[in-house]
Structure 1
Amino acid sequence: MTKIAVLGAGSWGSALANRIASNGFSTVLWSHRAEQVEEINQAHTNVHYLPGTQLHQDLLATVDLKVAVDNADIILVVVPTKGIREVAQKLNKMLLDLQHSAIVVHATKGLEAGSHKRISEMLLEEMEAKTYTAIAAISGPSHAEDVVKDDLTAVSVASPDLKAAQAIQAVLASPTFRPYTNQDLLGSELGGALKNIIAIGSGMLVGLGYGVNAQAALLTRGLVELRRVGVAMGAQAETFLGLAGIGDLIVTGMSANSRNYRAGFALGQGQSLPEVKAQMGMVIEGVNTTKAVFEYAQQFDLEIPITQAIYQVLYQQADIRAEIEALMTRPLKSEN
């Protein structure tokens, strides 16, 4: 029987593990928190991350990484960007000890601060080649809160190894969850990471009282920036018109289920970034990604005025309304 290990029991990791277990696959969810593991195994809930959700009774949680990954066919890494290297190092050691290899797929959307590296790059740096058979990423418009309710969802499974992507596709697919394969791993990862920046900006607009005209303008011009940065980094432009690009941007930039959107909304309402972080209690991936993309664009002289404005608000305590006015009064130009 196919075995899937999911590393990371936050909202998205738990939702994906629940989806796979519901499909009838042997699924083990790893967490470093014993009390969380006990709750999942005994009550079949994860109240902190997915309140009001009953998880599948066959989903097994464990604090033992060996139990999770031993004989796993697919290992799904779903931890915050800042924790990727640490988990990858532990995973590498465990797989070496077990003399085992597997498809390693991640579902984390972010870039490493300072290095600007993608999640797959960090995994490749921390893991020896004999511990994995392929590297892949899951991206697309997919809030965990909706997935666990069996709301209709479509995602992108990206890997240069098409057979690996198809194997992941097979364990995820259900009548309410439709995965598509994509071989542009670079573009899919960038789309999933960069849209969080624009989602923060979208939340800011709504927090300030602006309407859907403003949101639509921001998301559309934000997509131009995402594609500009992505292509500069080597991605395919078409990827940003798919699920990992515009699809993820729409859902993240328009929904209160998005923590990046909620963070932006709180900032628009007048809260400070430290207050927002303390109140959220979860990682806001777009904050660090904004800094990474701003630094990358400075290095390569890319024009990303929206991202730059969001950076000024997050890191230079700039006034949001002043940044919006500056964006709207820039020299007029052609859309193309």
Structure 2
Amino acid sequence: MSLSHIQSLRLTAVLEDCSDQLDILGHTLTVQISRERDTAAAQERARLTKLRRDCQYICQQVLKLHLDLKEKQSFSSVLQVVEEEEQKKKAENVQREEKRELEQRKQTLQRQKEDHQQKTEKLKDLCQLAKDLKHQLNEQSLQIANRKKIVEKDTELQLQLTQKETSQAEKLLEDQLELLQKQLKVEVRVHEESEKFLQNQHEELQQQLQQWQECTKMMLQEKEQQLNSVRCRRTVNLDKLSEMRRKFREMEQVVMEDREEQEKLRQQQAEARAATKLQAWWRGCMVRRGLGSFQRAEKDKKGKKKKDGKKKKKK
């Protein structure tokens, strides 16, 4: 947007006044910051320092605008600052979205890690149960062995006592021994079957644990690959953004040069029109007043008219 010379002068005067007021405001803020030295006024001091920085930034932008109005008579610096701020906001929004995505992915990974920990804890509990059952089986086997010893001792005593008794008592004892042996065989079988069952459960639990560990490793590798791909995309997007900025600046420069050339052509055409108008006005004045070369032509016309009148009188 180009302005006339008068408008640019007015705006420069206003901007000079604004810059002076901003300088005064910055000086007052520095004085207030130096006065507040208490620990309780730390927040106020921070606020004042922020205001002082803002005043300095505005002063810089006002000076740039002042130079543009003096040299180019346009608001190109203000438009450029606005575009830069918009681009910064867009970049910040993109970074915030990427941070949100990364945080969400971290949360999902954390949840998966917690689930894996819970599963490992369950496996540990199951292993502990298997150990306890094994310990109980060992105790039962010891009890069975003790019972065997006790039964053998009892049988020996009974045999020693019942040697003098009849054959019927011997048969009864033999029957009792057979029953005891059968009971012992049954208990031994139960012990072996329970031990096999616990061993099978222990092996299955170990296999499940290995499978879960492999699954967790694969999931972690996939998540790392996804993170790497996201980083690569981010770098590519940043490169594209920088390339677009460079192209935009080049196009803006071309547009500004074209505008300057058009403005120069328009000024030249206006000057040519004004010159032609001035020449036409001056010729009209010369012709109406009979000045310069136009005066001789009028005299010649008058002389011719007088001679024609004399000729008519002679006739």
TM band (smaller chain): under 0.3
User: Under a length normalisation based on structure 1, what TM-score does the superposition of the two structures give?
Assistant: 0.15
Rg comparison, structure with higher value: 2
Query: Which structure has more helix as a fraction of its residues?
Result: 2
